[in-house]
Structure 1
């Protein structure tokens, strides 16, 4: 039985950092909804028991900031190409990569909430006890497959797509590398030294490159951008992507679930090797470090452990240090766009959009 087509997502009020043609974010949502509805219905046609999986696929892909798609779109426009639904669909494919990464990341971290709702493995466990983690793993795998399918079906000429295919492989390899590095460096004293460089390496590959740099470059490659522009996209994308994740790490500890949509105990419970943790350990005294390690070793840290970490990160200057890292990377990203525009590598509307997207990444509260 084929499910009825999903209703078009309601257009959200324009965000001050949502640059682009009218309702670009809504168009990305629509492209995703159309594709996911079609594919989910085909899944349900196989057997009615799969309706619970199809429903989760729709939920998982129905929310998000759509930043990766926006960066891909502006990589295309920055190279001088015109607006069109084909590039919107190609850009939307990157949101399926992100959705898959979130499902798998939540599985690895055993996170309970994302966007204020149950994570995929929690939601699926409610529907069929004992199968939540297995079903969520398969949902994430299917989303990865869907990303390539939507990209190749976007409507752009095959010659354009072929220019970007090698970077898709790089994106996948580096994303998995970052995830693996985080797993290998979590809950290991020898993998949690007071050295932020190791933590920065994790976020560079786990988040920064596939959030900003690679989407921009994929859009640029689709458009036939010259090497100099692709280099400028890297000069902007890597520091901005790192700043984006550094901001996320601060929000993960100092934010509130009502605002961020996830537990502010996640990083502490998972003992994730964040830059904030590395800087805190580096500046703490021996007794403070021992007490922090004891908090990280608890199976279920609570409000008291979170408050201790917050106070220690403040007292040691670690929180301020992360803010300084964010500011330095924001300045580098801004300078890269300004220089690319001055050198006439980047169109004016794209330069303005990239500045606005940077502000959106860095001033967010969720």
Structure 2
């Protein structure tokens, strides 16, 4: 395929990304399955569980990795192979984080299917195995998450055999460290123990900065760019873009978790209330609530058995205090800021601007969110 062939242009290659990343994952997981089969057939079955868990994802992070590479130059076939490989490795990191997150948050489902710890507990009951079924399910999910994280490192190593490999490896190492540290800060904030950030909104923003931004946008983007030999000025521009797009992405997700249209988003609009998720949205509402509203919030937030009436009352307070509108404004501002970075940068390649702009708009759209 020549450089002038339309099929070699970035937009066309992005269309192929899902198939390419899935092919890399299938090959890598096939190798892991063979390794585990030498240990025990039951162990090999864990790979099947992970493959099902990975299916249905939007591949947002591999796309940021790809467009980070394009920001330097249009990738040739070998560049593309490395970028697809890194994208697949990032998907495995995400799987590890989500497997553990589902356990921590007691989430019953993931992508419309039973979460792994739930499915493993159901299988334990079906087979009448010894011990507590729920404990068994949690153990399976933790082990599988650990495996996914280890396998992510093995797969990423295949892409670091170029001049920019050491810089890209550093970004990959930071991704893994930051997402797990951000997860810890999230747990600590939920428990009211994030003492170095006593302000609730500031703490919630810090969790976003270290849990969501690095592994969703920042590190995938910089990883792809570093692999292609990006200079410091380009990396700085991409980091500015990532901070805005990544924060807007999470703030939007927080809105979806409370006032999103479940029919179009597929995300529960009650889960965050029942879980008591300590978001910027909740911090804004609590700060603006009058005593009566605060009493309603205190009585319902974080109560798994809260009624639909109580959940609706909380949702009404989030709107009436202006919290929903304020956070929606933050999402829109972050989207504009990401696009402004693309417009002013003298180093991001013209080929990458449209792709990164489309990703920023997708990450910060308010479609499916009932702001008023």
What's the TM-score once normalised by structure 1's chain length? 0.88
Alignment partner of 1:252 is 2:257: yes
- Counterparts of 1:118-133 in structure 2, within 5 Å, are 118-129=114-125, 130=133, 131-133=136-138
CA distance in 2: counterparts of 1:229 and 1:273, whole angstroms:
34
CA distance in 2: counterparts of 1:280 and 1:179, whole angstroms:
23
CA pair 189-304 structure 1, distance change in 2 beyond 3 A: farther
Residues 251-271 of structure 1 deviation map (CA, whole Å, 9 limit, x = unaligned): 111235554444333212221
Partner residue of 2:285?
280
Q: 1:168 aligns with which of 169, 172, 180?
A: 172
**Structure 2: which 5+ residue stretches go unaligned?**
1-10, 126-132
CA distance in 2: counterparts of 1:33 and 1:42, whole angstroms:
14
RMSD: 2.2
CA distance in 2: counterparts of 1:68 and 1:133, whole angstroms:
26
Alignment partner of 1:60 is 2:60: no
Residues 145-187 of structure 1 deviation map (CA, whole Å, 9 limit, x = unaligned): 1111111124x52543212222222222221221111111115
The Cα of 1:62 is off from its aligned counterpart by 1.9
Partner residue of 1:304?
309
Q: 1:205 aligns with which of 196, 206, 210?
A: 210
- Counterparts of 1:264-275 in structure 2, within 5 Å, are 264-275=269-280
CA pair 86-41 structure 1, distance change in 2 beyond 3 A: same
The Cα of 1:126 is off from its aligned counterpart by 1.7
Do 1:337 and 1:355's aligned partners in 2 also have CA atoms closer than 8 Å? yes
Q: Secondary structure at the match of 1:174?
A: helix
Q: Secondary structure at the match of 2:224?
A: helix
Partner residue of 1:347?
349
**Structure 1: which 5+ residue stretches go unaligned?**
1-17
- Counterparts of 1:104-119 in structure 2, within 5 Å, are 104-119=100-115
Residues 227-283 of structure 1 deviation map (CA, whole Å, 9 limit, x = unaligned): 000000111001110000111111111235554444333212221111111111011
Q: Secondary structure at the match of 1:65?
A: coil
Task: Out of 75-84 and 40-49, give the one that drifted further.
Answer: 40-49
CA distance in 2: counterparts of 1:292 and 1:355, whole angstroms:
38
The Cα of 1:195 is off from its aligned counterpart by 3.9
- Counterparts of 1:14-29 in structure 2, within 5 Å, are 20-29=13-22
The Cα of 1:20 is off from its aligned counterpart by 4.1
Alignment partner of 1:50 is 2:52: no
Alignment partner of 1:95 is 2:99: no
CA distance in 2: counterparts of 1:246 and 1:19, whole angstroms:
30
